[in-house]
A and B are shown apart, each in its own frame.
Chain A
Amino acid sequence: MGIITSVSTWLIPCFILLVLVAATWKRVPAYETFVEGGKEGVKMAFSLLPFLVGMIVSISILRSSGALEAFVGFISPLLISIGIPPDIIPLALVRPISGTAALGMTTELISTHGPDSFIGRLASTMQGSTDTTLYILTVYFGAVGIKKMRYALKVGLLADLIGILASIIIVTIIFG
């Protein structure tokens, strides 16, 4: 853990150092170039705004209505019968849709079942090995103005499904 934490803390400052030393060495006008690049960031954040508002509102309508919970309750008997613990199902369903909701659920699962319980370890692994597909597609495609996603969403969601199943199998093998 010590090494891992220090790598994560040192990486960014060292990268900045490397960039600035290289820029000065090559006589690149570092500050002016930085400002020029930064301006793009402002534009980008504003162009993202409508995409994020649209997606987040739609997701929160679904969640606040209770429909998502009802769906989980509906399919959980089926999943229990094939050996998937029901407590993990809401997390598995929400993970591709909402990053903050998934993080909230992971935290809740860890606090109720304990971090070193089977559910706690499974939730941790799942949280770490999948990502918020819908959010990533919204932000990335939104920022550069891609209107037709073609098969991107299918690929992302299928990869999530495999990541979730892989987490369940691996955690069962290693900690089960």
Chain B
Amino acid sequence: MVNIIWACMAIIGIVYAMFNGTMDQVNQAVFESANEAVTLSIGLISVLVFWLGIMKVAESAGILEVLSKLFRPVISRIFPDIPKDHPAMGYILSNITANLFGLGNAATPMGIKALEQMKQLSGSDTASRSMITFLALNTSSLTLIPTTVIAIRMQYNSISPTEIVGTTIIATMISTVSAILIDRFFYYKSIWRK
């Protein structure tokens, strides 16, 4: 599906530009955005190196183990096919915690580590059930405190920059619960088909 979406976005854009005389902008966008993507990847190096380094220390020091033991009952229900003592649990938890506090930069490396562990479990290059559940959680956004939005609201002199925290938490809860339910729906549908 991602192959189709990826190709279609570019095809629609180029064909539309043919009839609307925006080919100049498209041409410019191709090179500028490729450049932007490289800058973004290079920019990620610092964050990835630092957090993967710290997390490796945390793992050897047994901190991830303690963390996963604490929250095991909840997490093992959401991820039933990950063995209870597996290191993936610790990374899943650190990713969720970092997301909840709006630390997106710290959340990504931990999320990638979690997926790596899940890939070792499944041993194939096809997304496993737990991987999809994990990404569903991440894409539905787990933010409790939307720090960036609060910062923008402050910049534009809002009377109450944080008044949207409540509505954000409710909307996030609804989308996260829905994401888990939708994920379950497609999972059981894929089983029935077999």
Contact = CB atoms under 8 A, between A and B. Distances in A.
Interface string B168-189: 1011101110110011001100
B126 A147 contact: yes
Interface residues of A, number: 101
Contacts of A120: 153, 156, 158
Given A60-B32, A127-B149, A155-B132, A136 B164 contact: no
Interface stretch (B35-43, B69-77, B79-87): B35-43
A166 B162 contact: no
Interface string B147-159: 1111011001111
Interface in A11-69: 11-12, 15-16, 18-20, 22-23, 25-26, 28, 30, 33-42, 44-46, 48-49, 52-67
Interface in B42-84: 42, 44-45, 47-58, 60-63
B146 A163 contact: no
Ordered nearest first, which 10 A-B pairs have the shortest CB separation? A37-B56, A128-B146, A163-B175, A41-B48, A115-B158, A129-B171, A41-B49, A64-B29, A159-B179, A38-B53
B51 A131 contact: no
Contact of B138 (A30, A127, A136): A136
A141 B2 CA distance: 11
Contacts of B111: 140
A44 to B, nearest CB: 5
A175 B166 CA distance: 11
Given A28-B57, A42-B45, A150 B163 contact: no
